[in-house]
Structure formats: C-alpha cells, structure tokens
A and B are shown apart, each in its own frame.
Chain A
Amino acid sequence: MHENELFVLCLGTVVLIFIGVYRAQFSRLPAARWLLAAFFAVWVAWVATVLEHLFLPVFFNVLEHLGYAANGVLLFIWCWLGMRSGKAHAHD
C-alpha cells in the first residue's frame, strides 16, 4: 500500500464530510446531484485503491477504474445538464 493512496482517501473523506455538513449550500449548484455523484464515484475509487491492497485485489482494482470512469462520465453529465438547464445560473 502506498502512503499517498491512504492520504488521498483521508483527504477525500474530509471533503466528503465537508460536503455532508454544507450540503445545503451545494444544492444551489445547477444539477448538483450529478456533481456530488461524481465526487462520490471518485471517493469510491479512492476507497477501492486502498482496499485492493488488503483483499479482493481484482474486484477492487476493477472498482477503482470503474469509479474513475464514472467520475469522468458524471462530470460530463453534470456539465452537460448544467449547460442545458435554464435554471443553471450558478454564480453569474
């Protein structure tokens, strides 16, 4: 296990807690659910990165890559929906 992977997970978890505490603020972002889902996907990837060194390496490796891919896809969807949404005027 690399230390930086554990560090990334810790950092990501702090961000996750931060989101949980201030979720009301982020809900004002356009299509916020997709953005939060994207973060959750990458957080899952960070968890899988750590866990693959402990057990079920193949499964967690696939989950890691799946998380990163989902992150990219969800970010794209968020951007796309946000652009299309008439309500999307986050910080003009």
Chain B
Amino acid sequence: MPMISTLDLIGSLTAFAAALFLLTSWRRRMSAAEQWIVAGICGTTALINGLSFSAWLGQDIGADLTESLGDYLQILQPALWGMFFYVVMQCAQRREVEKSHQQMRDIVENMPVILHALDAQGRILAWNRHAEEVTGYSKAEVIGARDKLQELFPDTDYREQLLAECRNGGATYQHRIRPLACKHNYERQVAWYNISEKFPIKGWATWGIGLDMTEQLLAQKELEHMATHDELTALPNRALLRDRLNHALADAQRNHRRGALLLLDLDHFKMVNDSHGHPVGDQLLREIGERLKSCVKATDTLARLGGDEFVILLERIGRPEEAALVAERILSSLVNRPFFLFGNEVRVRTSIGITVFPDDDVRMDELMKNVDLALYAAKQGGRNGYHFYSRTMHNKLRWQHRVSEKLRAALESDAFSLQYQPQVSLRDNSVVGVEALLRWNAFDEVPLSPAAFIPIAENMGLMPTLGKWVLQNACKQAALWQKHMGKLPVAINLSALQLYQVNLVESLMEMMEEQELDPENIEFEITESTVMRNMDNAISTMRRMRQQGFHISLDDFGTGYSSLSYLKRFPVSKLKIDQSFVKAIETDPADAAIVRSVIDLGHSLNMKVLAEGVETQGQLDRLGNEGCDYIQGYYFSRPLAPDSVEAYLRGAVH
C-alpha cells in the first residue's frame, strides 16, 4: 500500500529530523533529561515508522525481530511521553521555586534597609547593597569574615545577644536602636529587627533588618532641642526651665534643701536695638548668655525667657546670701566690662530679682511671680542692682498692681474729680485763690491720696493723659467762676512731663481761648525738683508762660535740691512752703527757722509766700508773726467740690 508507506516514510523522516534538531539547536533551551527524553520520543517515532516502511520495501530484518522491536518501541513510546511530561512538570515547578528564591534575593539585595544574616557561629552570610552603602563595607569584606561582628556592632550587650540568638536560633522580633560601626570611624544609629529561622535560605541561623535612623534621630534631637532651647542663644527656654524648676522644687522639699531663682533683665535694652540695630542687639544677647554661663555652675540652669530676660536657677544653695553673691558676680561681669559688637562698644546695666525656695514659696508659678516682683523692685530701686523677694514687697506691689488696674479703668470711665482748697490771705482773711486737687475714689468710694496713685500713673505712662484731664477740667471750672464770680485764680499742679512738653505754652493759650479764660486766673504750681531736671529749658518755658499772663508758684519749696543762685532766675511770683515744715513749726525750732528763712527769702526776691498744711491756730499765729502772706490748709477749709467753693466764698471767711 503506497499511501501507508508514504506516511511511514514521512513520519520516519520528520521524527528523525526533529531528533536532530533537539540534539543540536535546542541544546541550550532544555534540560539534558528533557532533551534526551524528547529525542528518545522522536527516535522511537522515527524507528516505528522506519520499521513499517522497511517492511513495505521488503527489506525485512527478520519477522520476529521486527515484531519484538516494534512491540518494545510501542511500549517505550507512551512511557517516554509520560516521562517527558513528568520531567517538564518537575522542571517547571523547580523553576518556579528558583524564580521565587531569586526574587527574594533581589528584594533582599535591593530593599532600602540594611539586611544581614548570620550563621550559627555568628559569621555574616548576607550583606545587602544598602548595608554596603550605609557602612562602606563591601560584601567581600564582610561575608564570612571572622570577628567582623565585633567590628560592626560596638555595643557589647547587643553583640552578645546576637551571638546567643545565632546559637539558639531564638527569634526576637524586638525593636532596638543600636549603633552600627561604619568604615572610616563613624557610626550610624540603626533600628534593628532581628529574626531567626524565618527566612527560607539555608544556613541562616538568624537574620535581621535594620533601618538607618541616624538622620531621624538627629532631626528628633534637633526638634527636642528647639522645643526646649532658645533659638538665639541656645540656652534653655521657658519650657525647660519650668521642667528643671519643677524637679528642683521637688528635690528641695524632699531633701530639705534650698535653691534660688534669679530673674535678670537688661536696663534699657531697647535703646541698644534702637541705636545700634537688631543684629547688634541679638549678638549682645548671645554674648550676655556666654558671660552669664561663666557666672554660674554647670549644674545650675541658665535660661532665656525671651527679649532681654534671663533666668538662673540655682538648684542648691546653703544660704540666701549665696544667691546674692551670684547676683553680684553677674552685675560685675556684665556691667564692668563693655561688649564690643561689630565695632560698637556697648555697655549694659542690669537689674536682678531673687527669690529663694522653699522659703518664699514651693509653687512654681508663684515663684515665677515672686521673682518678677523682686525684679520690679530692683528696677524701682534705681536699676543696676538686685533685690530679694519679700512678703512686704509682695503686698505692696500687689496693691500697686491693683491700683494700676483700676487707674486705667478710672481714666476710661471718667472716675476722677477735682476739689479745690481755698488759699487765704493772712492780711485780710480774703480768699486769694484755690488749688485744684485731684480726687479719686478708687476702692468702694474711699478716696485715694494722689500721693499714692500719681507715682503709679507715672510708671504706667498715664500722666500725660491725667495731667491734661486735670488741666482741662480746672480751666473749665476757672472759666465758669470767672464768668459768674469774677476773678478767682485757680492753682494747678504742672507735672514734669507737661512742663517739658514742646508746645506747652501754645496748647495752654489755645485752651484759654477755647474757655475764654484770662491767663491771669491760672497759676501753675511747679515743684523744685521738676524745674531742676532741665533748668534752662524750664526757665525758658516758665518765662514764656509768664509773658502770656500765667502765674507760677514754686511748690514744696525747701524739700528739693534747688540752688539759691538759680532761684533768682525763676520767673516765679509765689513760694509755697511745704507742709512738712509747717507741721512742726510750733515745736521744732529748726522748722520754724526754715519757715522764717523761706519767708524772708521770698520777700527779698519780691515773691509772695504761701504756707501749706495749716491746721491749727498756733501754726497760723506763728506764720502770721513771721510775715507769711497766704495760708492753705484745713484750718480754713478742706478741699471742696466746686459748688461748695461757691458757698464757701459766699459765706463768711473763717
């Protein structure tokens, strides 16, 4: 049958060709086993077809042999096919596993964390690329090297723990930050997660991944430092000071120790900034910080609260005097040596408040308030010194604080009033004028003396407003009296700020015009000390005031430091003897002599003389005998409301 023979021939030849292909060209694409098996398949196919074809050709090699060979080949063929597919499947599975391992190796190699694996003896078996980059040690230097572990992990405890894990295969999924020694003698801080017997690579007793935390730790440290330190001076800030003060207070109470808190504030620091600029101011603060450091022990805390305020916490002192010694050391260090900043010589003065704990208080906030009060007292005491906190000072300053709070509110709510005290001529008991006196019912309608609240108003910078208010209201009242009662001069106290105001005379004249008031009806009382601040300027202003018709009297005469040589230059028409001399005129010959001298002096300089604070007939008689011109005091009248003044004037003079 030629068709069958043709088929046999085709099958035989193609199968033979396929076997040749497999054994030549496919060599690199299949495993040896697969290659030989499939070649066997092709071979048996070729032989089976070949035997069949040879039978047709009549080239029989023997019927028995052909038949038995054919039988074997036929059985061999499905066996080979089965074997081939089985091997292919096995290879595919093995390839999958290998691929998976390779992927794992690639991940390990390329992951952005340090990976190391150790064998049971603590030798390094794996060291990935990131580990190389971080440490500078290559795989060749690390893998298998003896004692490398010791070199890489300087922390002995951690190293021992690692070795124990290698020996025991104990898993520790513990997060630990430990140093990793790198090439060229530098260290990185690494967060380690060590794991044992979990990685499917043979021989790994333990392995660990490490995250380089150096930058994060530095950043964290930086953040912590920023949160607890002042940016400009790098000194501890308020937050850290509070923390340390808290500990110091607890320690002082627990161990019966004593500590101190010093608050330091530069006097007129703003002037440094204004005159030299902020860079110089900043540099000054830095250098002050350095000098202050040299004045305290390393265990003490020097902090900057902000601006020009520094605090020193002396955690352990034996006696309060030790705090005073530190304060003196600071004053000496800062005040005696000028600072040379960017070519400028800067001198500073400083005030220091001191509070001692637990003596003064054991509560942190109270201590901070105390030291603030002590500083305030130091500044009030003339600056450039130190002052200890005391309970008396505390009460006084608290009271001042209360007054200051009420004072501002009083100005806003127009709670002040003026009272007028008559000034009486001794010659004919006639009222020659009244002095306007400021009254303020600060606490539950209880009047507060101007002597008590005027200094506070001055400190608060309220005097210009308050002085203006007094001036306006007194002039208004004087104008009313001028209109209805004729001439009644009103004496008004003029503060230093008002006297040295640039356009004082112009504004006064403007006010006179507004009120249609004759300047002759206004007398300004100026104290000696006010005039003496800037005598030439004061005299010039006073002369201009006189030219405009205002009267001027010198208040509290004898209490200040006026020079008699200057007195003759003052355009003053009246001297007012201070009530402190009048008070004891009957009993103290010295006071009587002073009063007599002042009266004589005033008369000699062609001035009238008024005595304040006259309360008794005896005082009145003595003053009359000495030739005093005018009297003011309770003897004639206490300060009166405007309506009462009018009634007083209408009535008989005492």
Contact of B85 with A by CB under 8 A: yes
A-B contact list, 9 entries, CB within 8 Å: A11-B75, A12-B78, A15-B82, A42-B45, A42-B77, A65-B7, A68-B45, A71-B11, A72-B12
Given known pairs A11-B78, A72-B18, A76-B15, the reply for A65 and B92 (CB within 8 Å) is: no
A71 to B49: give the CA distance in the assembly, Å. 10
C-beta contact mask, B11-33 vs A, less than 8 Å → 1, else 0? 11111111001100110111100
Q: Is the CB of A8 within 8 A of B4?
A: no
Given known pairs A7-B75, A72-B11, A72-B13, the reply for A15 and B85 (CB within 8 Å) is: yes
Give chain A residues whose Cβ lies under 8 Å from the Cβ of B10. 69, 72-73
Task: Tally A residues with Cβ within 8 Å of B.
Answer: 43
Give chain B residues whose Cβ lies under 8 Å from the Cβ of A72. 10-16, 18, 42, 45-46, 49
Interface residues on B, range: 35 or more
Contact of A44 with B by CB under 8 A: no
C-beta contact mask, A70-92 vs B, less than 8 Å → 1, else 0? 11110110111011000011111
A15 to chain B, nearest CB (A): 4
Contact of B341 with A by CB under 8 A: no
Q: Is the CB of B79 within 8 A of A11?
A: yes
Give chain A residues whose Cβ lies under 8 Å from the Cβ of B74. 4-5, 8, 46, 49
A28 to B90: give the CA distance in the assembly, Å. 12
Q: Is the CB of A61 within 8 A of B91?
A: no
Interface SS of chain B = helix
Given known pairs A12-B78, A46-B78, the reply for A76 and B21 (CB within 8 Å) is: yes
B21 to chain A, nearest CB (A): 4
Contact of B350 with A by CB under 8 A: no
Given known pairs A4-B71, A70-B11, A89-B29, the reply for A76 and B88 (CB within 8 Å) is: no
Of A42, A68, A88, which contacts B7 at CB under 8 A? Answer: A68
Question: Top 7 A-B pairs ranked by shortest CB distance?
Answer: A72-B15, A69-B11, A72-B11, A69-B7, A76-B14, A79-B21, A11-B78
Q: Is the CB of B8 within 8 A of A69?
A: yes
A91 to B605: give the CA distance in the assembly, Å. 130
- Which A residues from 1 to 40 make CB contacts under 8 A with B? 2, 4-5, 7-8, 11-12, 14-15, 18-19, 22, 25-26, 28-30, 39
Q: Is the CB of B81 within 8 A of A65?
A: no
List 9 additional A-B contacts (Cβ < 8 Å) besides A26-B92, A79-B18, A91-B34: A4-B74, A12-B78, A28-B92, A29-B88, A65-B4, A68-B48, A69-B7, A76-B21, A90-B29
Given known pairs A2-B71, A22-B89, A68-B45, the reply for A14 and B12 (CB within 8 Å) is: no
Contact of A51 with B by CB under 8 A: no
Give chain A residues whose Cβ lies under 8 Å from the Cβ of B16. 72
A5 to B71: give the CA distance in the assembly, Å. 8
Contact of B52 with A by CB under 8 A: yes
A9 to B13: give the CA distance in the assembly, Å. 24
Given known pairs A68-B49, A69-B11, A79-B18, the reply for A92 and B29 (CB within 8 Å) is: yes
Given known pairs A69-B8, A76-B18, A91-B34, the reply for A8 and B25 (CB within 8 Å) is: no
Pick the most buried of B17, B85, B95: most chain A CB atoms within 10 A of its CB: B85
Contact of B93 with A by CB under 8 A: yes
